[in-house]
Amino acid sequence: MWGRVPPVLDVAASAAAAGAALAAWTAPALLRARVLRAALCPELAGIGAAGSVALTFDDGPDPEGTPAVLHTLGQLGWKATFFMLGAQVERYPEVAAAVVGAGHEAAVHGFSHRNHLARGPADVHRDLVRAVAVVTAATGVRPSWFRPPYGVLTLGSLIAACRAGLAPVLWTAWGRDWEAPSPAQVVHLLSNQLRPGGTVLLHDSDCAARVAGSWRSTVQALPRLAELADQLGCTVGPLREHFAGRPASSRS
């Protein structure tokens, strides 16, 4: 859910890479412009193999939305990456297990859906460690990727992710599906932003959405996303394929 994204910058990877001081924790991250983000930190921005589009879902698992998404993904023959909330996984561990059991990829969206700007670095670290433990216990697979709530990455987020062995990944195109627009509107938004090599952000849960059942628009938009991917000449898949299976954090 994105309706309350604060007017701050949401990427600080370059600062973190430069070894910026921990004292800068409360400073807003450095870059919001998508062009700059992509140029300086392409993997963080979600830019991967040129012939593919990564498909990602946030805020699940959900007992209704996630199975509906899984069903449609099965019809399309697609695999995707699910950025799960630890709190949702605790409520619905069998749904989280079903995601991985169907061949999809589990990733971490945090334990609770709280903006990291409102949390201290130790609190963020505890949140991620707890989320990793819950997702791993439910799915049997340790996650590799991390996307913060609202996409707000602080320096503390990056340090916590690094300590937890998670590589942060944002997105290049979203459908604003948490507002439950029509499926055509979702795809129209995506078509204006998506390019070969990009990453799509959608939601399989309405737990942080403005509209109950918002995932219904998402499900109905997926076949139209297939048409868009065909037009771009791209395959659709999870981040592990988009980034050739290796988390950015483990690359030399």
- Active site members: 58, 203
Contact map string, positions 58 to 97, toward Zn ion, x by CB under 5 A: xx--------------------------------------
**Of 190 and 229, CB closest to Zn ion:** 190
Q: Report d(CA 42, CA 95) in Å as an integer.
A: 31
**Of 202 and 232, CB closest to Zn ion:** 202
Q: Report d(CA 218, CA 115) in Å as an integer.
A: 24
Closest separation between CB of residue 203 and Zn ion, Å?
7
Q: Report d(CA 74, CA 219) in Å as an integer.
A: 12
What values do phi and psi take at 139, rounded to 5? Answer: -105, -20
Please count the CA atoms within 13 angstroms of the CA of 33 that sit on its side-chain side.
Answer: 4
Is the peptide bond between 61 and the residue preceding it cis, with omega within 30 degrees of 0? Answer: yes
Contact map string, positions 112 to 131, toward Zn ion, x by CB under 5 A: --------------------
Closest separation between CB of residue 14 and Zn ion, Å?
24
Contact map string, positions 167 to 206, toward Zn ion, x by CB under 5 A: ----------------------------------------
Q: Is the C-alpha dihedral spanning 113, 146, 90, 125 positive or negative? A: negative
**Of 2 and 78, CB closest to Zn ion:** 2
Q: Would you tell me which residues interact with Zn ion (CB under 5 A)?
A: 58-59
